[in-house]
Amino acid sequence: MKLDVSLTDDLATCHALRRIVFIEEQNVPEAEEVDGRDSEALHLLARVDGQAVGCARILVAGDTGKIGRVCVLHDWRGQGIGIALINASLEALRTLDGVTHAKLGAQIHAIGFYENLGFVAEGPEFLDAGIVHRNMVRAL
């Protein structure tokens, strides 16, 4: 398995992956998934042997990069692709002047996953697209 995770301009592929995972699998309303912010974001695409299997998006505000829209196709979960996406996102943030922190909104079931990558949960639980989340942060 040759895994490649890199910055991409291939938004069509990212949108297709996000549609499968968020809209079709998790029943996120399309109006919430397609929020109009993709043009201001950095995007990462994970490919295994050339096949797109996951993606993530980064929005920057001040000294903080918000990692979001992290998804991996069902058949590829549990193989380190999500870890690679987060690590590549953190590396991309480290190259940006003035960005010192990363944050994300983690689905409750994924908190342990993100804690293993150095994130710390903060604040109360909240609903995003009908799914319980919690904010998590870490220094770069």
For every residue of 18-51, which 3-state class applies, written as one string? HHHHHHHHCCCCHHHHCCCCHHHCEEEEEEECCE
Q: What is the mean pLDDT of residues 5-13?
A: 97
Strand 131-139, strand 101-107: pairing: antiparallel
CATH fit for domain 3-139, picks 3.40.630.30, 3.30.1490.20, 3.40.50.720, 3.90.950.10: 3.40.630.30
What digits encode the pLDDT tens for the residues 25-47? Answer: 999 999 999 999 999 999 999 99
- pLDDT band at residue 92 using 50, 70 and 90 as cut-offs: very high
**By percentage, how much of the chain surpasses pLDDT 70?**
100
Q: What is the mean pLDDT of residues 76-85?
A: 97
- pLDDT band at residue 114 using 50, 70 and 90 as cut-offs: very high
Q: State the pLDDT at residue 26.
A: 94
* Residues 6 or more apart whose Cβ sits within 8 Å of residue 12: none
Query: Which residue type occupies 40?
Result: E
- pLDDT band at residue 86 using 50, 70 and 90 as cut-offs: very high
Q: State the pLDDT at residue 49.
A: 97
What digits encode the pLDDT tens for the residues 66-75? Answer: 999 999 999 9
Mean pLDDT of the chain: 97
- pLDDT band at residue 125 using 50, 70 and 90 as cut-offs: very high
DSSP H or E stretch at residue 52: strand 51-61
